[in-house]
Structure 1
Amino acid sequence: MSVVIDVSDAPLDRISFAMSPLAELGAVLHVLAEPSHHPGLLEWATETRTALPPELADRLYEADMLWRSTRSDLFLPSIAAADLKEELDAWDRLDDDAFVVAAVEISCATSFAHPRPSPLRRPEDRRRARELAAARGLRQAAFADRLLEDPHRVRAWLRRLLEDCEQAFFGEVWQRVRAQLAADARHKNELLKHRGLGQAVAAVSPAITLDTARGCLVVDKLQDGRVTGSGTGLVFLPTAFGWPHLVVRDAHGDRPVLQYPVALPELPSALSLATVQRRLEAVAHPLRLRLCRTLARGPHSTTELADANGLTAPEVSRHLGVLKKAGLTRTRREGRYVFHELDIERVGRLGADLLGNALR
């Protein structure tokens, strides 16, 4: 599974790295709504939520379908600006149809949908938008109802909410991280200019690769989709609050957006989805699971394992080969015997590796 971004005919001058306070605010609001996704920010999220005025906390909860589990396109601008006011001014220039589509185009589907028609136009599209919002909760359904009934009023309400967030906590956050994000975007723009797109995306994340033969970027995610940047280009937005997520916006005719976490050296490198799947499949077999139990206690030879499990040595060797190919065991030779041992650290990381791919 992967998200493929077609860049075969993307003009180089339309591919860029930029920083966006609106995108960063979206990432921050997601952390506040789902702190379990971001254990490194749990203390910050707890302190910030505790300090929120109750009225502001209620308003954030009311609209959190825009950033809780799926980020609304409104928070991933194709044209970034220097400050939050400029980006919110760009919201004001959107017509009601474009604004509402971006606000309600939220689903837990694992594939990118075709651009949906405006729910302001047809009753069936309005019903679909309400159903998706209702699945998120009663307050979210009420928010969507108000948005569909009076988009202009809700747009103004949402803008005031974000401005209040800037006053309450985001202004301090942005002042703290903007230099880091600017430096990251500047560095990657230099890589893009002097060493090409492949080197630039390699510096973004090991989960992104440039397939030169097909002219596309492949984002290793538990998600299927194809996004076109051909002819339009692509914008990358760094975030200090994004790990472990890689968020892709299909802008449906405008420049697609990829928001990525800035490098954090203390975090473990993310394994590819294929590697995680291979390791899970390796331990899913009942016999290999029993072998893992034995090997976790110490090194054992093939002969020992065969005798203990009532199998032939070739049968055990085949199962050990699967575990070794998955990178879950180590071997060492002593005379004519080969001893197998479970890689405790890698097996212990399986849950975290799976979660990292699920959240990417």
Structure 2
Amino acid sequence: MPYHLRFGEGDPLRIRFAISPLWETHSAVRVLARPRQQVYHLPWLRRIAHRARGLDLAPLHLLMPARGHSPDFLYPPPIGPAATFEEEIAAVRDTPAALAADDFARALAETPGAAGTAEGRRLLADPAGAVLRLADLLEETWEALVAPEWPRLRALLEADLAYHSRRLAEGGLERLLTELHPSFGWTETTATLTVASGTEHVRALEGQGLVLMPSVFTWPDVISGFDPPWQPTVVYPVRGVGGLWTEARERTPQALARLLGRARAEVLCALDEPAGTSALAHRLGLAPSSVSAHLSVLRGAGLLTSRRYGHQVLYERTPLGIALAVSQPDTD
């Protein structure tokens, strides 16, 4: 059953991309509830297992039905293209009690018996207090499970935004929307984006435009269905998630390491997606100054190109750099 998003005259001019650390925190909690479905994230799950055991995530899990409504106010569309977690969680804490109560009731109704549990009754009896309690729990979860990995996650998400922004410039709106995910379809005659989902729903954008948001932990699902007052949003799996948790030494051919030097070869091989100096330094465990020097040499040798994206410079491999990085390791 599809989800239909109908564009009006001005809506194509109000499409924007965004990244949300709060959404990734919410999605990470969902991964913990269903770890067997997330083969790509097994290295992360093993790494954070001891920290996750110290968190009581039951209240959040109760509000995450396998199908159906989850409270939009806990992870709304981001307020800007690169909002910080602190900005997003502050907005959660400001949620009106009446809005939260309605969201709680709808989410709990999706799971038989959930409203009658002790936690369900507590949420419904004191929605204002529950908002603050859940915001504190999300902040604790962010700090324990997601913030330590955020430079790596943000680099992948920003690379996705850069890639699709180029595709929009090259091929226009229809090409962008149909390339984002196989479940997306575009009907030109009605200017409607159709997203395959578990529910049948129609929403007219009515001049609000659309937020397109890549996500690491949402894989492999596409999520839409944010209701008013939230801006219409579609969350889709980020490109390149399969190599996200691969360590540099696991994918650096020995022959290339001998040719370029181990550290420089690891920098080249880590650029499966465009990334900046800080993200690469965090991923590789190297000093930013060292990574910057390696990037400069690799770019000078014609193996990388660079371009500015917002406040940072992103590096990506040239065809020659790609050919070297994907060469097979020697067997001697």
Q: TM-score range by the shorter chain?
A: 0.5 to 0.7
Counterpart in the other structure of 2:113: 135
Counterpart in the other structure of 1:88: 89
Alignment of structure 1 residues 185-334 onto 2, 5 Å: 185-193=161-169, 195-264=171-240
Counterpart in the other structure of 2:11: 11
Q: C-alpha separation between the residues in 1 aligned to 2:155 and 2:189?
A: 36
Kept in 1, the 8 Å contact 2:225–2:233? The answer is: yes
Q: C-alpha separation between the residues in 2 aligned to 1:265 and 1:49?
A: 20
1:2-38 Cα deviation digits (max 9, x unpaired) = 2111113342332111101111111111111111221
Alpha-carbon distance change, 205 to 132 in structure 1, aligned in 2, over 3 angstroms = closer
Alpha-carbon distance change, 67 to 47 in structure 1, aligned in 2, over 3 angstroms = farther
Partner of residue 66 from structure 1, selected from 60, 63, 67: 63
Q: C-alpha separation between the residues in 2 aligned to 1:173 and 1:258?
A: 24
**Which structure is larger by alpha-carbon Rg, 1 or 2?**
1
Kept in 2, the 8 Å contact 1:2–1:221? The answer is: yes
1:166-220 Cα deviation digits (max 9, x unpaired) = 2212111222200111221233234335532212112311221211111100113
- More moved, 178-187 vs 82-91: 178-187
Q: C-alpha separation between the residues in 2 aligned to 1:187 and 1:255?
A: 23
Q: How far apart are 1:41 and its partner, in Å?
A: 1.8
Kept in 2, the 8 Å contact 1:8–1:216? The answer is: no
Q: How far apart are 1:137 and its partner, in Å?
A: 8.0
Q: C-alpha separation between the residues in 2 aligned to 1:227 and 1:11?
A: 13
Alpha-carbon distance change, 250 to 169 in structure 1, aligned in 2, over 3 angstroms = closer
Alpha-carbon distance change, 32 to 164 in structure 1, aligned in 2, over 3 angstroms = same
Q: C-alpha separation between the residues in 1 aligned to 2:78 and 2:52?
A: 30
User: Aligned AA for 1:258?
Assistant: V
The runs of 5 or more residues in structure 2 that have no matched partner are: 244-332
TM-score normalised to structure 1 length: 0.60
Computed over aligned residues only, the root mean square deviation of the Cα atoms, in angstroms, reads 2.5
Q: C-alpha separation between the residues in 1 aligned to 2:115 and 2:143?
A: 28
Alpha-carbon distance change, 148 to 266 in structure 1, aligned in 2, over 3 angstroms = closer
Kept in 2, the 8 Å contact 1:236–1:259? The answer is: yes
Q: C-alpha separation between the residues in 1 aligned to 2:161 and 2:103?
A: 26
Counterpart in the other structure of 1:31: 31
The runs of 5 or more residues in structure 1 that have no matched partner are: 107-128, 268-360
Alpha-carbon distance change, 46 to 76 in structure 1, aligned in 2, over 3 angstroms = farther
Kept in 2, the 8 Å contact 1:232–1:254? The answer is: no
Alpha-carbon distance change, 166 to 197 in structure 1, aligned in 2, over 3 angstroms = same
1:79-103 Cα deviation digits (max 9, x unpaired) = 3452111011111232111223234
Kept in 2, the 8 Å contact 1:63–1:143? The answer is: no
Aligned length: 239
Using the aligned pairs only, state the percent identity: 26
Q: C-alpha separation between the residues in 2 aligned to 1:79 and 1:193?
A: 24
User: Aligned AA for 1:100?
Assistant: A
Partner of residue 125 from structure 2, selected from 129, 149, 167: 149
Q: How far apart are 1:246 and its partner, in Å?
A: 0.3
Q: Secondary structure at the match of 1:82?
A: coil
Q: Secondary structure at the match of 2:240?
A: coil
1:280-321 Cα deviation digits (max 9, x unpaired) = xxxxxxxxxxxxxxxxxxxxxxxxxxxxxxxxxxxxxxxxxx
User: Aligned AA for 1:217?
Assistant: L
